[in-house]
Amino acid sequence: MPERTDVDWLSTDGEYARRAGVADEAQKRVEAAESEVGSLESKATTATDTRQRAYTDYVAEHESHEESRVIKPSMTEAKAHEVSERQMKRDQRYLAAGSSPAKARESLAAEKALIQRKSQTVAQKKSATSVTPAARLQETRQQSMRRR
């Protein structure tokens, strides 16, 4: 009787051959999955790099215009870094919500302008309808003079 490690003899054994086939198939699936993982990791790295480059280009363009600049020339390096980090987090929230940071800024600026116009209108109406104590006194005096 040959030793149990003799592959040639074992390959003639039906049970061994069936289990060896299952093991080979499982190994092929593992290799295919590892290959797919490697491919997905490569795609994820490429996508991350592309996204980072696009955001870097966006920030460079954003900072190149005076009206949209976040980092002011008078800022210290630490303050500029802090402001830049805060802006990046804000931009990432906009992107995660499916909005472009530029459109979100435009929308916020429009909302601020609208609120400011409304508050000015309210203030104007208030000042037009509010009567000062001196004006009230004068009106009372005029009414009493008319009654006489």
What tens digit of pLDDT does each residue of 22-79 get? 999 999 999 999 999 999 999 999 998 998 888 888 888 878 888 778 888 888 999 9
Percent of the chain, pLDDT > 90? 23
Nearest to 24 by CA among 35, 14, 34, 16: 16
Nearest to 90 by CA among 79, 76, 77, 104: 104
- pLDDT value, residue 128: 61
Q: How much is the pTM?
A: 0.47
Could you tell me which residue, 113 or 14, shows the higher pLDDT?
113
DSSP assignment, residue 68?
Answer: G
Alpha helices in 2-132 (DSSP H): 7-12, 14-63, 77-96, 101-129
* Burial group, residue 90, by CB count within 10 angstroms (0-12, 13-18, 19+): middle
